[in-house]
Amino acid sequence: MNKILFSVVLLTGFLFHPGTAQPPWEKGYSRGEDLQIKLVTIDPGDELTMWWGHTAIIVEDMRLNTSLFYNYGIFSFEQENFIRNFVMGRLIFWVGAWNTTGALDYYKGLNRSIRIQTLDLSPQRRLEMAKFLANNVLPENREYLYEHYNDNCATRVRDLIDKMVEGQLAQACNQPARMTLRQHTRCHTHHNFLMDLLLMFLMNDTIDKPITRWQEMFLPTELERNILGLSLLDSTGVKRKVISEEVVFFEARERAPLPEFAPKHWPVTLAWGGFFAMLGVYLAFLFRTHTPAGRYLFGIYHTLVGLVLGLPGLALFLMANFTDHTVTYYNENIYLANPLTLLLVLSGIGIIRPGQTKRKFTPNLCIVLALLGVLLLFLKIFPAFDQDNWDILCLVLPVLSGLAGSWYWIQKNSSN
């Protein structure tokens, strides 16, 4: 139901906007002293697109009783070439002006906590910001090329606020962040073990570098956290807090809070990697009994390993070489899973089919794949190989090593 509602609202988002009429602050009817500018922070939701939370801006004219919700997080599954643009890393987002009550009710209906902070800007800056937003939602201005870490709903709002305070926000937040981009990301993805592994597999070491507080504000909750206690100089030279008031508009029901730090997964992946490696060795023993069951099970094992590792490996290879997903470039995990890994599917078929069990390429393929994994483990001693991919290493390397060792044992016993 949430997926349907989400799609419908995105496709009809501009129905929230009161027609094509300009808001009073664009037409010159609003006065700066009557305006309130509010930062809206919406906690993560259930769907993947909602895991990282959301940021928006409310502009409200208290005298004219007009309020709009400026939303930089709009996209449509129906937009032209959506699938191709998504795959290629060229997803177009845009900003829209929604009716504030309708927008807040929508996010409330998704059971997502909502907090609203009033920005303590001068009347002149409030009016300037309101006019900028009214101009930004025009069809010729509203679109932007989405980039998860550098250009999203939170960074757009962050940059606009920084402009209103003459760069003081960026200056105040030019300090080391408490986590890397990967660690921040995992705080929002760790609850889904498989998706967390897939996302961590696809992203390279650029998200493991030290960052500043400014950069960590790609997340709505971090923008909220960093701006809450911040004091900056106003136009008269007086230091004052950026936030004059904060209210909890809605508290989600039965939703776990975000962890301060994401739990480590490598002990779990090492346990699973060891289990699947031992399973492979056991199936190799069954295969050596020359029974149909042993042959089928060992073949199925190869096929499953080929699919589970090979498909993400193929996706990584294509994304890293033929798309604009820069966060996948020069990814160390290509040593662990790549298009070669997908050949294990053919190996599995060759094992299952009678008379094909002695094909030379299967043992050699397994040895090559395992050696690539061992090579990566060795390369990790060098500073250049600093990608935080121990979760993936602990899962994949035991499986590949188990296959290589099994075929070594099979061939050794076959020659005796």
The answer on pLDDT for 40 being more than 50 is yes
The answer on pLDDT for 199 being more than 70 is yes
Q: What is the pLDDT of residue 233?
A: 80
17 and 76 housed in the same domain: yes
Last residue of a domain, one of 202, 222, 250: 250
Q: Give residue 7's pLDDT band: very low, low, confident or very high (50, 70, 90).
A: very low
First to last CA, the chain: 63
Sequence length of the chain is 416
Per-residue tokens: 214: 């400014």
Cβ pair 221, 187 in contact under 8 A? no
377 and 314 housed in the same domain: yes
Residue 234 is which amino acid?
Answer: D
Q: What is the pLDDT of residue 15?
A: 42
Instruction: Classify residue 316: in a domain, yes or no.
Output: yes
Number of structural domains (the chain) is: 2
245 and 271 housed in the same domain: no
Per-residue tokens: 107: 């996010």
Q: What is the pLDDT of residue 143?
A: 94
Q: What is the pLDDT of residue 356?
A: 53
Alpha carbon 185 to chain centroid distance?
Answer: 6
Q: Give residue 86's pLDDT band: very low, low, confident or very high (50, 70, 90).
A: confident
27 and 142 housed in the same domain: yes
102-116, 119-133, 219-233, 314-328, range with the lowest pLDDT: 219-233
245 and 280 housed in the same domain: no
> Looking at the DSSP assignment, which residues form a beta bridge with residue 61?
35, 66
Q: What is the pLDDT of residue 129?
A: 97
Instruction: Classify residue 25: in a domain, yes or no.
Output: yes
284 and 236 housed in the same domain: no
**Residue-number span of the structural domain to which 338 is assigned:** 266-414
Give CA separation, 362 vs 36, 302, 337, 348, in Å.
Answer: 68, 10, 16, 9
60-64, 79-83, 101-105, 124-128, range with the lowest pLDDT: 79-83
The answer on pLDDT for 359 being more than 90 is no
Share of the chain above pLDDT 70, in %: 93
How many other β-carbons are positioned within 10 Å of the β-carbon of residue 11? Answer: 14
Q: What is the pLDDT of residue 238?
A: 81
Q: What is the pLDDT of residue 415?
A: 58
**Region 357-361: what's the mean pLDDT?**
66
Q: Give residue 18's pLDDT band: very low, low, confident or very high (50, 70, 90).
A: very low
The answer on pLDDT for 8 being more than 80 is no
Q: What is the pLDDT of residue 75?
A: 87
The answer on pLDDT for 14 being more than 70 is no
Instruction: Classify residue 197: in a domain, yes or no.
Output: no
Nearest in space to 272 (alpha carbons), one of 368, 160, 363, 193:
193
CA distance 327 to 203: 5
270 and 410 housed in the same domain: yes
The answer on pLDDT for 6 being more than 50 is no
Instruction: Classify residue 184: in a domain, yes or no.
Output: no
- Strand, coil or helix: 398: helix
**Region 246-268: what's the mean pLDDT?**
93
**For the chain, what is the mean pLDDT?**
91
Q: What is the pLDDT of residue 358?
A: 53
Last residue of a domain, one of 221, 250, 279: 250
Select the more confidently predicted residue: 361 or 306: 306
**Region 309-313: what's the mean pLDDT?**
97
- Look at the block and give the residue holding tokens 């002695």: 358
**Region 364-375: what's the mean pLDDT?**
97
**Region 284-309: what's the mean pLDDT?**
95
Q: What is the pLDDT of residue 353?
A: 84
DSSP state of 173: T
Instruction: Classify residue 20: in a domain, yes or no.
Output: yes
CA distance 149 to 207: 9
CA distance 255 to 112: 8
- Strand, coil or helix: 64: coil
**Region 359-372: what's the mean pLDDT?**
92
How many other β-carbons are positioned within 10 Å of the β-carbon of residue 27? Answer: 10
218 and 273 housed in the same domain: no
368 and 237 housed in the same domain: no
Alpha helices in 217-291 (DSSP H): 220-228, 266-287
88 and 218 housed in the same domain: yes
Instruction: Classify residue 200: in a domain, yes or no.
Output: no
Q: What is the pLDDT of residue 12?
A: 45
Instruction: Classify residue 359: in a domain, yes or no.
Output: yes
Task: Give me the DSSP letters along 113-145.
Answer: -EEEEEE---HHHHHHHHHHHHHHTSTTTSEEE
189-198, 235-244, 254-263, range with the lowest pLDDT: 235-244
The answer on pLDDT for 239 being more than 50 is yes
Q: What is the pLDDT of residue 234?
A: 75
Last residue of a domain, one of 194, 226, 250: 250
357 and 238 housed in the same domain: no
Q: What is the pLDDT of residue 13?
A: 44
246 and 270 housed in the same domain: no
Instruction: Classify residue 409: in a domain, yes or no.
Output: yes
